[in-house]
Amino acid sequence: MSFRNLILKLKFKYIIAVTAITCIVYVLGLFTHLLEEDFYLKFTYPYNVNIEKLLYQLHNNESVETTPINVYNYKFLSNCRQKCTNDHKNQIKLVYIVKSSLDNFKHRNAIRQTWGYERRFSDVQIRTVFILGIGNNADLQSKINNEYLKYRDIVQINFEDSYFNNTIKTMMGFKWVINFCYNSNFYMFVDDDYYISTRNILRFIRNPTNYPQYLTNNELDDFELPSDVRLYAGYVFFSSPHRHLFSKWYVSLHEYPYHLWPPYVTAGAYILTRKALFDMYHGSFYTKHFRFDDIYLGLIAKKVAIEPFHCEHFHFYKQTYTDGNYKFTIASHGYESPSELLKVWNRQKSIGNA
Ligand SMILES: *[C@@H]1O[C@H](CO)[C@@H](O)[C@H](O)[C@H]1NC(C)=O
Ligand SMILES: *[C@@H]1O[C@H](CO)[C@@H](O)[C@H](O)[C@H]1NC(C)=O
């Protein structure tokens, strides 16, 4: 090989290498990161309005001076309006709004027999509904209709039930509360692949900041959360947007330009007081739609000035099972298997933790 050819060959290799590296850097989104704006200095998210005044107006059923920019106008095909009519002397304490997938019949049945069981405690009013969108399979739908007739706990809404429509599912869940179930103290939104301990939730909502220490420390035990507090609690993340192109969660700068998300509670399990839910629902009218539901709620929370409350006993990653590990567990992700949920929950119930 002549000297000249050798140089050409090396040059060629060099060009290939540079091109490859550039492509990789591009795909990983490293350039995009450089172009992000500073969340702490620059953050704003449409729509810019005086939200406090609007929340007040909406809460008091006055006409609002600014037309909402974002309204979820899907239709309730079944609304379970009888669910929260309450003829008991006790106020409804807790409503589970379970975000379920159309064909997860077994999950729903396991939940009805475990943490979603409404008569778990004779002196605490609990309600459970499952939120579903729609599909295009007639057989599946007729099974869901039968399930509804049997249990009367399925709230079905006419949007396509798919992962990127989770924000619609969530916000229609909020809307369902406002329209049909506004008389509970607490609302817990949960995915259908979670282990939940209702007993520990009831302990947590009495005194969130001192849970679980107050259970064993008498000095901390003279507190009960006032009902007008705006609590939005669960496993809180502080994270940055995914910028690599092949991520399921890829977000462009155009969609969201900042280097961090506002703090948000992971979507699998979170609890809200009525006041927090009302403010966030009304806040959504003035918060531009975002397709990830947990991020969207984080954006709304920031807008209406609610700080998400972190509790490590909501496990975003599956909590490894031992009897002791689950003593204070409120929620744990990773229960794709209904039979495992039944086993673990029954065991925890028998030792007083569920
Ligand atoms: C709110 O106002 C509408 C009419 O603007 C009325 O129909 C409705 O009953 C009011 N609701 C409450 C709770 O006051
Ligand atoms: C979300 O639901 C709407 C209404 O059914 C539908 O038009 C849209 O295609 C769905 N989007 C996704 C990403 O599934």
What is the residue extent of each domain of the chain? 3-35, 51-350
The predicted pLDDT at position 50 comes to: 87
**Which residue has its alpha carbon closest to ligand 2 atom 6?**
160
Whether 27 has a pLDDT exceeding 80, the answer reads: no
What tens digit of pLDDT does each residue of 300-336 get?
A: 999 999 999 999 999 999 999 999 999 999 999 999 9
The token duo for 233 is: 């609690």
Helix axes 138-151, 105-113, angle to 10 degrees: 10
Residue 148 pLDDT greater than 70, yes or no: yes
Q: Which of 96, 103, 112 is nearest to 132 (CA)?
A: 103
Determine the residue of 134, 165, 291 to mutate for testing ligand 2's pocket, defined as the one with the most ligand atoms within 8 A of the Cβ atom.
Answer: 165
Q: For residue 209, give the 3-state DSSP assignment.
A: helix
Q: Which atom of ligand 2 is nearest to the CA of 74?
A: 4
Compute the C-alpha angle 243/246/248, nearest 5°.
85
**Tokens in use for 58?**
């909406």
pLDDT digits (tens, 9 = 90+) for 51-91: 999 999 999 989 998 999 999 999 999 999 999 997 777 89
Ligand 2, atom 8: closest residue by C-alpha: 160
Measure 70 CA to ligand 2 centroid, in angstroms. Answer: 16
Question: How remote is the CA of residue 134 from the centroid of ligand 2, in Å?
Answer: 10
Q: Kindly state if the Cβ of 163 falls inside 6 Å of ligand 2.
A: no
pTM of the entire predicted model: 0.91
* CB of 159 sitting under 6 A from ligand 2: yes
pLDDT at 219: 80
Other Cβ atoms closer than 10 A to 288 = 13
Output the pLDDT for position 11: 83
**Ligand 2 atom with the shortest distance to the CA of 158:** 5
Between the CA of 159 and the centroid of ligand 2 the distance, in Å, is 6
User: b or e along 167-192 (b: 16 or more beta carbons within 10 Å of the residue's beta carbon)?
Assistant: bbbbbbbbbbbeebbeebbbbbbbbb
| For residue 25, pLDDT beyond 80 | no
pLDDT-derived band at 1 (thresholds 50, 70, 90) equals: low
CB of 160 shorter than 6 A to ligand 2:
yes
164 lines ligand 2 (CB under 6 A): yes
101 pLDDT higher than 80? yes
Q: How far lies 74's CA from each of 77, 144, 160, 165, in Å? A: 9, 19, 10, 12
Residue 187 pLDDT greater than 90, yes or no: yes
CATH architecture assigned to 51-350: Alpha-Beta Complex (3.90)
| Angle made by CA atoms 299, 51, 291, in degrees to the nearest 5 | 25
At residue 241 the predicted structure's pLDDT band, cuts being 50, 70 and 90, is very high
Ligand 2 center from residue 336 Cα (angstroms): 25
